[in-house]
Amino acid sequence: MQLKYNLDTAGDRTCTVQVRSPAVSRYKSIKQQLTVATCSLLTATPVLAIDVSPLDITLSSMIYSEDGRVLVNEDVLEVNKEIDDDEFVTARYIFDVMTGPSHNGLPKIDTPQIFTSPSGSVVTSKASKEPTFSFRDTRHALNLEWEKPITRLLDTTNSVAVSAEYDYFSAGGSSSWSYDVNDRLTTLTAGIAANYDLITPVGGTPHELGASDSERNLGDQKKGELDMLIGVTQVIDRKTLLQVNYSIGYSKGYLTDPYKLVAYLDNTDLTPVTGDPYFHEKRPNSRLAHRFYFQLIRDFNDDVLRAAYRYFVDDWQIQSHTYELKYSFVLFNENELQFHYRYYTQSAASFYHYFLVNGARAGVDSNDVVSDLAQLDYASADHRLGHLKSETIGIKYSQQFVSKQSKLDLRLDRMMQEDQKGKFSDLKAWIAQVVFKFIY
Amino acid sequence: MKKILYLVVMILLSGCTIEPIKPWERDILARDNMALDADPMLQLMDEQIYYSKEAASGGKGIGGGGCGCN
């Protein structure tokens, strides 16, 4: 008698029972009994699996700490349960606390700067230092996800999410589908996501391009986003996977940051002009972005290399390149040590200015010269829209416990951002995170 | 950009035709650390941070955002 039982990588069970016996009648009853017993065992297994399906629980705590600026603590509780064969539901709750001074868009100049904060108070900044607004906020977010196989080869994941801060509310949903072809060596993916955001700035919504001390009497603002993605994941060989995605994103509505200002300086000495030297930024009310993403995963005798590249381009004239490398060393008991490097560059948005000046001056880009502010359609001095370069180096250690029933991840990253043009100050931050996953 | 896309397509095609693997040869690819997203909780935090600090976002998956990040 031969009994073959195979559990393939996708979790699909196949069973073949072959009984070869002499053509003797007394063996026929044994054959029948074996067949009945085998089939009973196989049909009973999934029922047992459903009854004892445990909860996968993940706890995470992350600290993001900028040198001298923003501090964020983000805690996550995630519960995942298999409710049927390969069908999962996941609930995730996120709680953030954000505090500290955040750059408000004004440049570093040789004299103190006097401006009005969102709450209406008059602030005087120090000379030769980029001005900031201090803030404190909390965020609660809930995400529910349902992953269900439609057929043996087709799988779908649907999710809804809400997020609430003091000055921001967001609700969204997504649906993605994956289909295995080519003997399950190729997976085709498609997805769509939509978001609706409501912005209620502290102190009211300011007038775009209006003076910083003008009345902030505009009402709440709205923003909508639509994302679509198609992708292919290909098994290259026994040790190599390649993932390729293309996605397109469209945003419409209030895309301006209500807390960012732009400075208007005198070209003779680069000091604030008399009158209204600071005004609120204004961005276009739509944005179309394309992203191409590639990821290669390769095994090297149990160690794993991950190499990823993303190209991003949008109609604000921003182009960016992101390169990411992760190498995991497998240690004793399948514990892991991972090293991580990320390199990011972007060109500036067409309406980005570190500051604006009222006349030509040596060393000042002609795009930053505006003789009359009424000529401006859009303007922003947000460094995140500037000629940004960012590097991150990091390390992660993963420890398995008790027959792989639980796992602890510890990671520490250092992020360093700088202006490729050498204008705005560097931003450096530590990212520390602990993740504990266990079965309950 | 065109060269990169061409290279990727060539690799994909070679993967389809040169070295197809059998179901029983998927032991390595089935390991947790070979998953497309082996550290989803770290990835979640990274996406949130870089979404808040850079002009570009997304690409690996869909959705994201959902905050008025400073």
Question: In terms of C-beta density within 10 A (0-12 exposed, 13-18 middle, 19 or more buried), how is residue A37 classed?
Answer: exposed
Q: Does B49 touch chain A (CB under 8 A)?
A: yes
pLDDT band at B53 (very low <50, low <70, confident <90, very high): very high
Question: What is A53-439's CATH topology?
Answer: Porin (2.40.160)
Contact: A295, B42; criterion CB under 8 Å = no
Q: Which residue has the tokens 């072959």?
A: A18
pLDDT score for A406 = 93
pLDDT digits (tens, 9 = 90+) for A65-102: 999 999 999 999 999 999 999 999 999 999 999 999 99
Tell me the pLDDT of chain A averaged across its residues. 89
Query: In chain B, which residue's Cα lies nearest the Cα of A338?
Result: B33
Chain B residues with CB under 8 Å of A249 CB are 58
| Least-confidence region, from A264-273, A345-354, A386-395, B19-28 | B19-28
Contact: A8, B65; criterion CB under 8 Å = no
Give the integer Cα–Cα distance in Å for A252 and A244: 27
Q: Does A236 touch chain B (CB under 8 A)?
A: yes
Contact: A9, B29; criterion CB under 8 Å = yes
Given a contact cutoff of 8 angstroms between Cβ atoms, the answer to whether A90 and A57 are in contact is: no
Tell me the pLDDT of chain B averaged across its residues. 79
The CA-based dihedral angle spanning residues A148, A151, A152, A156, taken in that order and rounded to the nearest 10 degrees: -30
Q: HEC string of A294-357?
A: EEEEEEECCEEEEEEEEEEEECCCCEEEEEEEEEEEECHHHCEEEEEEEEEEECCCCCECCCEE
**pLDDT exceeds 60 at position A140:** yes
Residues facing A343 on adjacent strands:
A323, A391
Contact: B29, A241; criterion CB under 8 Å = yes
Share of chain A above pLDDT 90, in %: 76
Q: Rounded to a whole number, what is the distance in Å from the CA of A357 to chain B's nearest CA? A: 24
Domain with CATH 2.40.160.40 in chain A: 53-439
Contact: B45, A62; criterion CB under 8 Å = yes
Q: Which of A96, A236, A331, A391 is best to mutate for the B interface (most B CBs within 10 A)?
A: A236
Q: Which of B12, B22, B52, B54 is best to mutate for the A interface (most A CBs within 10 A)?
A: B54
Give the integer Cα–Cα distance in Å for A58 and A433: 13
Q: Of B31, B55, B58, which has the smallest distance from its Cβ to A346's Cβ?
A: B55
